[in-house]
Amino acid sequence: MPEQQCPLFVSLEGGEGAGKTSLIVALKAALEAKGLSVVSTREPGGTPLGEVIRQWLLNHDASIKIGNTAELLLFLAVRAQHIEDVIAPALREGKVVLCDRFNDSTIAYQGAARGLGVDFVQQLCASVCKEVVPSITLYLDVDPSIGLRRTRRATKENAATGMVDRIESEKLAFHMAVRDAMLQQAKASPERMHIIDASQSRAHVFEKAM
């Protein structure tokens, strides 16, 4: 992570319950303590439009069917608006952007696990993002059966988090396919994508990320 202010786009990836959200909070605080200007944001979300689409994508209303292609295009619509309104302006101002999920999620969840095709989804992501892509990706790797147990425990303990969402409630095999795809992406881009063992303690994960 940088010592001096310069534009830097970092994405954090991981399966359900990998601990991305708490890592981002800790990283933002640590980087700000070094005097850096940091924007933390998330996908799906990050803009008013993105947060509305997030509800559509993750809500549990079974009467509203979302097909795989529609799902892919909704994630990409979120991304297009997010880049235009938040990520590109922050990078132009020389800030560090920490983004909870980005293209690797779309490639792993929609391209691999939903079966739309890794190459096809990769190409669409490239068309949407053009040059605005992360230069570092931290992939928090955890066995999906451990991650899902963590998520379900947190949901149970904290009524405010509500129900398990539409994608979390997919079968274990779906989440295993996501993990396999993430590991393949990390293998294909070792200079950008760094694997962190997220079955370890939060302190260990934070130390590796810094």
Which residues here bind ligand TMP, judged by CB under 6 A?
Answer: 16, 42-44, 75, 100-101, 105-106, 109-110, 167-168
DSSP string, 28-60: HHHHHHTT--EEEEESS-SSHHHHHHHHHHH--
Closer residue to ligand TMP in complex, CB, 68/201:
68
Place of tokens 């944001």: 41
Q: How far is the CB of 207 from ligand TMP (least distance, A)?
A: 22
CB of 74: closest distance to ligand TMP in angstroms? 9
Least distance (Å) between residue 33 CB and ligand TMP: 25
Nearer to ligand TMP, 15 or 36 (CB): 15
Give the residue with the Cβ less far from ligand TMP, 141 or 168.
168
In whole angstroms, give the CA distance from residue 10 to residue 138.
Answer: 8
The smaller minimum CB distance to ligand TMP, of residues 41 and 106, is found at: 106
Q: Is the preceding omega at residue 89 within 30 degrees of 0, hence cis?
A: no
Q: For tokens 């739309």, what's the residue?
A: 116
Q: In what order do the strands lie in the sheet with 136-141?
A: 38-42, 96-100, 8-14, 136-141, 193-197
Residue number with the shortest CB distance to ligand TMP?
A: 109
Closest to ligand TMP by CB, 100 or 141 = 100
CB of 138 to ligand TMP, least distance (A): 14
- Rounded CA-CA distance 186/30 in Å is 25
How far apart are CB 11 and ligand TMP at their closest, in Å? 10
Nearest-angstrom CA–CA distance, 168 and 17: 9
